[in-house]
C-alpha cells in the first residue's frame, strides 16, 4: 500500500464525462490498495472566464477580490469529483485549500506556501476516505488574525499537489495531464517530439523555466528540495509517463515549505581562461562555425556570452563573443579562432575583428533549486563580491545556477 497524491488539471475535469473518467481512475487506484489525496484544478477554462467577468467590470480589480473569485473555480471541481467518487462507491471528502490546512503568505495572487497542517487530512485518510483537495489556493492570516483566502498564482495546482506530497511524506506525486509525460519539445509544434522516461528535477527546472508548460518551476522546486518522487502521466492512458528524480526524501525545515534557502551550494573552478572575440560578422552560422571548429579541435568550452552591437551603417551589426575553457587550452583556442575569423573574411587587426585571451581566471558558482525565481538572489551574490573588491568578468545564469568569472588570485576569497 502506498500513499499517493494525484493531481488532475483543468482539461482532465473539463466536463461531467471527464470527471467521471477521473473518478474511475481514482477508484481503480484505491482498489489496488493505495491511500489517495487527489488535487484538482478548475474545470476547463473556468479561471479565464472568471477573470474575464472581473475585467468586464473593472480594469483593475482588487487582488483580494480576485482571489475570492478565482478560488470558487476549484471548489466546483472538488465537489463534483467527490460526488462522482461516491457514485463509484468510493468514500470521498472534498476540501478547499484552507480546509486542507494549506497556510500561505498574505500576498494575494502569488502567495507561497509556508506550511501544511496535515492533521485533518491524515484522520480522513486513516478512516479510509479519498480526500479531494482544491489546488491553487490556501489561507493566510489577515489583519486582526482573521483568515484570508489566497491563491498561489500560475501553476498553483501543481504546486499544491507536490507540497501536499512533501508534507504528508507521500510515496509519490502523480501529475495527470493531456500529454504522455515530459517531452523533448512541444508536440503541437514538432510532430516527432520524444517522451523522456526519466529526467532529474534540476534538468526539469531548466526546462520549466525556459517555457516547458507541463510543470511549473515552483512545483519542481518543491519536489527537488524535499525529495518527492514525481511522475508526469497522461490522463487518457495507462502509460507510465516520465519519472522526475530528486534524491532521498528530506524533512521540511522551519523556514517555510516554499521559503527554504534558495542556494544550497557554492563551488570554485580554478585555472580557467577566457577568450573574447569582438566585431565578429553578424550573420547566421557564425557561432556554429566557431564552436564546431573548437569542438573538432577537442576543446570543451564552458560559459558563453554573446552581445550585439549596431554597426556604422543602417541595419548593420557586429557581435562580441566570449567563452571560457581550461587555461591549458588557451593557445590552441586562440589559434582556432584566428582560423575561423580568417575564413569569415574578418581578419584580426585594426578596423576588423579583435581577439584576446587571458589565463589565470577562476569560476565561482552558486547553485540551488529555483534561484532565478527568487527576487534578489543574484543581486545579493554580486553585492557580496563587490564589497570584497572582487570584479566580475563574465556572468552566466540558469534556473539552478549563477556563475561568475573572476581573477584567479581572488577565487578562494570569492568562495
Q: Say which residues have a Cβ less than 8 Å from residue 287's Cβ, sequence separation at least 6.
A: 306, 319, 321
pLDDT of residue 97: 96
Please indicate, yes or no, whether residues 345 and 210 belong to a single structural domain of this protein.
Answer: no
pLDDT of residue 296: 94
CA separation (Å) from 142 to 102, 120, 180, 319? 15, 22, 41, 53
**Total domains present in the chain:** 2
Last residue of a domain, one of 245, 277, 296: 245
pLDDT surpasses 80 at 350:
no
Question: Would you say residue 252 lies in a domain?
Answer: no
- CATH number for the domain spanning 58: value is 3.40.1160.10
Whether residues 165 and 19 share a domain: the answer is yes
Same domain, yes or no: 275 and 208? no
In a domain, 250, yes or no: no
Instruction: For 253-279, write each residue's pLDDT tens digit.
Output: 777 888 777 887 899 999 999 999 888
Pairing between β-strand 3-8 and β-strand 35-40 as defined by DSSP bridges? parallel
Confidence of residue 349 (pLDDT cuts 50, 70, 90): low
Query: What sign has the CA pseudo-torsion 367, 370, 371, 372?
Result: positive
Tell me the pLDDT of the chain averaged across its residues: 89
Q: Is residue 222 part of a domain?
A: yes
270 domain-assigned: yes
Q: Is 127 in the same domain as 14?
A: yes
| 194 domain-assigned | yes
Residue 288 has pLDDT above 60, yes or no: yes
Q: Do 159 and 123 share a structural domain?
A: yes
Q: What is residue 404's predicted lDDT score, i.e. its pLDDT? A: 93
- 310 versus 143: the higher-pLDDT residue is 143
**pLDDT band at 249, cuts 50/70/90?**
confident
Same structural domain, 217 and 291: no
- Decide if pLDDT at 239 tops 80: yes
The DSSP letter of residue 318 is E
CB 270 within 8 A of CB 362: yes
- Same domain for 165 and 199? yes
| pLDDT score, position 314 | 57
Asked which of 210, 245, 280 is the last residue of a domain, the reply is 245
Q: Is residue 258 part of a domain?
A: no
The pLDDT confidence band at residue 370, using thresholds 50, 70 and 90, is low
pLDDT greater than 60 at residue 92: yes
Query: Are 55 and 197 contained in the same domain?
Result: yes
pLDDT in tens, 1-14: 799 999 999 999 99
Q: Which of 44, 8, 43, 42 is nearest to 24 (CA)?
A: 8
For residue 253, is it within any domain?
no
Q: What range does the domain containing 136 cover?
A: 3-245
Residues 202 and 275 in one domain: no
Cell 473569485 belongs to residue: 69
Whole-number pLDDT of residue 247: 79
| Surface-to-core class of residue 256, CB atoms within 10 Å of its CB (0-12 exposed, 13-18 middle, 19+ buried) | middle
- CATH number for the domain harbouring residue 322: 3.30.2130.10
pTM of the model: 0.81
Q: pLDDT band at 210, cuts 50/70/90?
A: low
Q: Are residues 233 and 271 in the same domain?
A: no
Same domain (yes/no): 198, 240: yes
Percent of the chain predicted with pLDDT > 90: 61
Contact assessment for residue 152 and residue 108, using Cβ atoms and an 8 Å cutoff = no
Higher pLDDT, 384 or 215: 384
In this structure, is residue 260 part of a structural domain?
no
Note whether 133 and 279 are same-domain residues.
no
DSSP structural state of residue 183: B
pLDDT bin (cut points 50, 70, 90) of residue 351 is: low
Residues in contact with 57: Cβ distance below 8 Å, sequence separation at least 6, in sequence order: none
Amino acid at each position: 500500500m502506498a500513499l499517493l497524491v494525484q493531481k488532475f488539471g483543468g482539461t482532465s475535469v473539463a466536463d461531467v464525462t471527464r470527471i467521471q473518467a477521473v473518478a474511475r481512475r481514482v477508484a481503480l487506484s484505491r482498489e489496488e490498495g493505495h491511500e489517495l489525496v487527489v488535487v484538482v484544478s478548475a474545470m476547463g477554462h473556468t479561471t479565464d472566464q472568471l477573470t474575464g467577468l472581473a475585467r468586464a467590470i473593472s480594469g483593475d480589480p482588487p487582488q483580494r477580490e480576485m482571489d475570492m473569485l478565482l478560488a470558487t473555480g476549484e471548489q466546483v471541481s472538488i465537489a463534483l469529483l467527490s460526488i462522482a467518487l461516491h457514485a463509484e462507491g468510493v468514500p470521498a471528502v472534498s476540501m478547499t485549500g484552507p480546509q486542507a490546512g494549506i497556510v500561505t503568505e498574505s500576498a494575494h495572487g502569488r502567495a507561497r506556501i509556508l506550511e501544511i497542517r496535515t492533521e485533518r487530512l491524515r484522520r480522513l485518510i486513516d478512516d479510509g476516505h479519498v480526500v479531494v483537495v482544491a489546488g491553487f489556493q490556501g489561507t493566510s492570516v489577515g489583519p486582526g488574525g482573521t483568515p484570508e483566502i489566497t491563491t498561489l498564482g500560475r501553476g498553483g495546482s501543481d504546486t499544491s499537489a507536490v507540497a501536499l506530497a512533501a508534507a504528508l511524506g507521500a510515496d509519490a506525486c502523480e501529475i495527470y495531464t493531456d500529454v504522455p509525460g515530459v517531452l523533448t519539445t512541444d508536440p503541437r509544434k514538432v510532430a516527432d517530439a520524444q517522451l523522456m522516461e526519466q529526467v532529474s528535477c534540476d534538468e526539469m527546472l531548466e526546462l520549466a523555466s525556459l517555457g516547458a508548460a507541463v510543470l511549473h518551476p515552483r512545483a519542481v522546486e518543491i519536489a527537488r528540495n524535499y525529495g518527492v518522487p514525481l511522475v508526469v502521466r497522461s490522463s487518457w492512458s495507462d502509460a507510465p509517463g516520465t519519472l522526475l528524480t530528486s534524491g532521498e526524501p528530506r524533512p521540511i525545515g522551519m523556514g517555510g515549505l516554499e521559503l527554504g534557502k534558495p542556494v544550497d551550494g557554492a563551488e570554485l573552478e580554478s585555472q580557467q581562461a577566457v577568450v573574447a572575440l569582438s566585431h565578429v560578422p553578424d550573420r547566421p552560422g557564425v557561432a556554429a562555425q566557431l564552436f564546431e571548429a573548437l569542438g573538432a579541435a577537442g576543446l570543451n568550452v564552458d560559459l558563453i556570452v554573446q552581445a550585439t552591437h549596431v554597426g556604422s551603417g543602417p541595419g548593420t551589426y557586429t557581435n562580441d563573443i566570449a567563452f571560457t575553457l581550461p587555461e591549458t587550452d588557451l593557445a590552441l583556442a586562440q589559434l582556432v579562432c584566428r582560423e575561423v575569423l580568417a575564413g569569415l573574411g574578418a581578419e584580426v587587426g585594426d578596423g576588423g575583428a579583435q581577439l584576446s585571451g587571458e589565463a589565470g581566471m577562476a569560476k565561482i558558482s552558486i547553485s540551488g533549486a529555483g534561484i532565478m525565481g527568487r527576487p534578489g538572489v543574484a543581486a545579493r551574490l554580486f553585492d557580496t563580491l563587490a564589497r570584497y573588491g572582487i570584479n566580475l568578468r563574465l556572468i552566466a545564469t540558469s534556473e539552478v545556477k549563477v556563475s561568475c568569472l573572476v581573477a584567479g588570485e581572488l577565487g578562494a576569497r570569492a568562495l
